Structure 1
Amino acid sequence: MDRPGDQATSNVAKQDVLTAFSRNRPPRWRDSALSNAGHTSPKMTTTGAAKETARILIVDDEPAIREVLRQALMAEGFEVEMARNGTEAVKHVREGAFDLVLTDLIMPGKDGIQTILELRAVDPRIQIIAMSGGIVSGGGDFLPLARQLGARTVLSKPFEYRVFMDSVRDALGIAA
């Protein structure tokens, strides 16, 4: 759904998310998340406080954003898998059970709105959090539509670490 000329704006939006997260996340993994963004994931020790191991799927076309979110969730004790687009996300959900899907809305190919519709058809009970920097990138505001189609929570990028983790815990029914 990106338009010609949106690449520079997309890079700015991506950096905004990484910067906002950097300022607001716990120091125990701040440096490794930024230094490893976009690289293959290192083994991390899970020291988080999740009351149970929830399976979470992150869907975003930006590798650096996927990695930062993955490390944040792993640090809190969650089991995390990643998908680069909506097609991969639907395949992952068909192949295994997930408690929560975090999906970007503006992605090439199958966008987040289409992804939410298909995920709801595959598993109507799955919890979904929709994320978008669409207003920043000129793609429009799809967050209200995502909520109407079944996203439990919607987050506008950039968002703060605390807001993100509170949204995840709320979607999973875990007390903060």
Structure 2
Amino acid sequence: MASVLVIDDDEMVRTMLLRTLARGGYEAIGACDGVDGLARFRQAPCDLVITDIFMPNKEGLATIMELRRCFPDIRIVAISGGGARASLDVLPVAEALGACRTIRKPFTPQEVLAVVREVLGDPG
């Protein structure tokens, strides 16, 4: 069973993603920001990291850069709706920094599972 770390400061989004992944047959753990996410990843490396971009303490772009630097082979999916900066599209920047794929909020559980399966090479 593949494992996925979900990093998102919005508890509702994080919970929805964790439930979606569990229903899809993945072992999923959550983290509330990049600091927490990196600590959890170091403690128990996962097959995939899904990270939000705009978060307190350590935002997603910095988290992606640190993951890439320390764990070059990790697969990363970045998610964002822009938050308070909705006019700012940072998802292309996330891909340039090392995200394998991006998902724009709002998204459906089916979209998330399709991207996760694609990135992990899991036929579902």
TM-score norm. by structure 1 comes to: 0.67
- Matching residue of 2:84: 137
**Cα deviation, residue 94, structure 1:** 1.3
Alignment of 1:1-176 (within 5 A): 53-134=1-82, 137-139=84-86, 140-176=88-124
- CA deviations 1:74-116 (Å, max 9, x no partner) are 0111111110000011111111221000000000121100000
Tell me which amino acid in the other structure corresponds to 2:42: R
Letter in 2 for 1:67: T
The residue type paired with residue 95 of structure 1 is Q
Contact 2:9–2:32 (CA under 8 A) maintained in structure 1? yes
- The CA distance in 1 between the partners of 2:44 and 2:17, in whole Å, is 20
The TM-score with structure 2 as length reference comes to 0.94
Question: In 2, are the aligned partners of 1:94 and 1:122 still within 8 Å (CA)?
Answer: no
Aligned length: 123
Please give the alpha-carbon distance, in whole angstroms, between the structure 2 residues aligned to 1:115 and 1:78.
22
Residue 160 of structure 1 and its aligned partner are, at CA, apart by 2.2
User: SS of 2:58's equivalent?
Assistant: coil
Q: Considering only aligned residues, what root-mean-square deviation do their CA atoms show, in Å?
A: 1.1
Segments ≥4 residues shifted beyond 4 Å: none
* Aligned equivalents of 1:123, 1:59: Cα separation in 2: 16
Which protein is bigger by CA-based radius of gyration? 1
User: Which structure 2 residue ranges, 5 or more long, are not aligned?
Assistant: none
Q: Which amino acid letter does the alignment assign opposite residue 138 of structure 1?
A: R
